[in-house]
Amino acid sequence: MVVVASTLGTVNPPSDPQYARLQKELYDRAVTVHFVLLELPTQSPTEVAGFFQSRVGHQVTAMTGGRYENIFAATRLDTLLPEIGAQIAKSAAKQSYQYRLTYEPRSSKKPETIGVDVEIAGATIDASADGHLP
């Protein structure tokens, strides 16, 4: 998911239940959020523009493994969006052929090591707790 937001206008912060629901949806669906914040000049020197957008953007990208970008000119979108698109395409290609391996110990004794070997030429292993590969 790509979110492009700006600091223009007024923003009401999300309520705690709204934000908790957003976090749950992102986690349950293994969504990677890429967040771009376009900072525009404020009308008032005392106004703190973009505080909530920046805070939410940082939190959801950290939680989902996405990318956060803070830009100051809309023209930067011309090069940034294709970069993010390429990143999304790479992630989608990695996740196209996934196998889920689970480990369940047969005793309460903690194993010394756990490993996986792949005997398919060109195959690689990327570990993930939930199948989500940003």
Cα–Cα dist 4/12, whole Å: 17
Mean pLDDT of all residues in the chain?
84
Domain that holds residue 6: 2-95
**pLDDT cut 70: percent of the chain above it:** 87
Q: Is residue 121 part of a domain?
A: no
Whether residue 131 lies inside any domain: the answer is no
Alpha-carbon gap, residue 97 to 35, rounded angstroms:
27
Q: At what angle do helices 51-64 and 16-28 cross, to 10 degrees?
A: 30
Question: Is 14 in contact with 56 (CB distance < 8 Å)?
Answer: yes
pLDDT in tens, 13-22: 778 899 899 9
Q: Does residue 81 lie within any of the structural domains?
A: yes
Tell whether 130 is covered by a domain.
no
Place of tokens 């480990």: 103
pTM of the model: 0.75
- In this prediction, residue 30 has a pLDDT band, given cuts at 50, 70 and 90, of confident
Is residue 103 in a domain? no
Instruction: Kindly report, residue by residue over 85-130, the tens digit of the pLDDT.
Output: 999 998 888 777 777 777 777 778 877 777 777 788 887 777 776 6
CB 25 within 8 A of CB 52: no
Residue at 113 is within a domain: no
Q: Is pLDDT above 70 for 42?
A: no
Q: Is residue 63 part of a domain?
A: yes
